[in-house]
A and B are shown apart, each in its own frame.
Chain A
């Protein structure tokens, strides 16, 4: 398959760590976005959003350090010993991953502040979310041409994804409460716009990096993208069902609605994990057709 890099144990480890880093970043970014958007939500839900974001930011920092070591090991060719080799680590730090790590680390530290409830920490958290999104535009496939268009598409795609992924835990909590209906309903209305933007931004990015049907069906990148889009389609189906059937059922106080909605949100989280794994594989072991 054209454009597929060698897949060894370290590559699999790198993909898993990157996917964990994505999940942590999206939940961390999504928390402040959620709190800033739904300031009227029940306090218990907002508290969960703050805690989840701070915990994810902490996890993100750990994964970031781990990823620098993994990359160092991969370029050293000597396995585990290469993970702590000062020279190899220095080279990784000098690469775009080092630049991205600085921005992402700063953003995640700001989001950590959300453990304290105040307008100041929320403003810091929102700034942190923007920094984390920015960090992803400093590394990888978005460094291709047209540079600023790709970077803008990716940054906004990530913010839209974070708004959704970061809302899953708080919405799960809200689904179990009668007063959560208003929040779920409002989220459904806003998400209608942000999810459409998420998909359009992602598809435009993909079109720019793939460029042709041959690129889509003739390369490893294209096939991995098809895997991702299949999972995304499933996620959109679940979201539509929640919005059109389960949230109205909750509003109508159907007895089974809370548990069905909560189960559907948990299932959404599982599909999100699959999407992030596919994305991590896409950005780790495959090359965009535009670069071939």
Chain B
């Protein structure tokens, strides 16, 4: 039952990525297993103003350095620290689309061998 609820919640949240400013493109991709990660990227069909982005890893929140400011952009970039530990990571973001709608989304990836 928990799995179903989790899957439903995940479907709901990833669908937010599609809303208003279409986006199904992230780096790393949703569910990807990568050896290492240096940058988080979000791509949208229409410019999006990203107001908040957080990265949570196995050891808690990871500090991101925003390369993109608060201006509306079709592609958002934020850099990670040089050393990232192995494990599961989750990105949460919020923003404002061009038509004024508040937007949010989340995706997860794994750093491992």
Residues of A within 8 A of B (CB): 1-7, 14, 71, 74-78, 88, 91-92, 95-97, 100, 139-141, 143-144, 284, 287, 291-292
Contact = CB atoms under 8 A, between A and B. Distances in A.
B95 to A, nearest CB: 7
B13 A6 contact: yes
Nearest to A7: B12
Given A6-B104, A291-B20, A96 B51 contact: no
B19 A96 contact: no
A4 B8 CA distance: 12
10 contacts: A1-B12, A2-B18, A14-B102, A74-B102, A75-B96, A91-B51, A95-B96, A95-B100, A139-B100, A291-B22
A1 B18 CA distance: 12
Nearest to B17: A5
Nearest to B99: A143
Given A71-B102, A141-B99, 13 more contacts: A5-B15, A6-B12, A6-B104, A74-B102, A75-B52, A75-B94, A77-B92, A77-B104, A95-B49, A96-B98, A140-B99, A143-B99, A144-B99
Contacts of A3: 15, 18-19
Contacts, number: 75
* Interchain residue pairs A-B with the least CB separation, the first 8: A96-B100, A287-B19, A77-B52, A74-B102, A95-B100, A75-B51, A143-B99, A97-B100
A222 to B, nearest CB: 14
Contacts of B95: 75
Interface string B33-76: 00000000000000001011010000000000000001000000
B29 to A, nearest CB: 20
Interface residues of B, number: 24
Nearest to B53: A77
Given A77-B52, A91-B49, A287 B18 contact: yes
A74 B12 contact: no
B87 to A, nearest CB: 23
Nearest to A142: B99
A74 B104 CA distance: 9
Nearest to B70: A91
Interface string B69-113: 010000000000000000000001011101111111000000000
Interface in B17-35: 18-20, 22
B101 A140 contact: yes
Given A76-B52, A77-B54, A77-B92, A5 B19 contact: yes
A208 to B, nearest CB: 15
A92 B99 CA distance: 11
Contact of A77 (B16, B51, B96, B99): B51
A18 B81 CA distance: 41
Contacts of A141: 99
A75 B104 CA distance: 8
A5 B16 contact: yes
A92 B96 contact: yes
B51 A2 contact: no
Contacts of B54: 77
Nearest to B93: A77
A2 B15 contact: yes
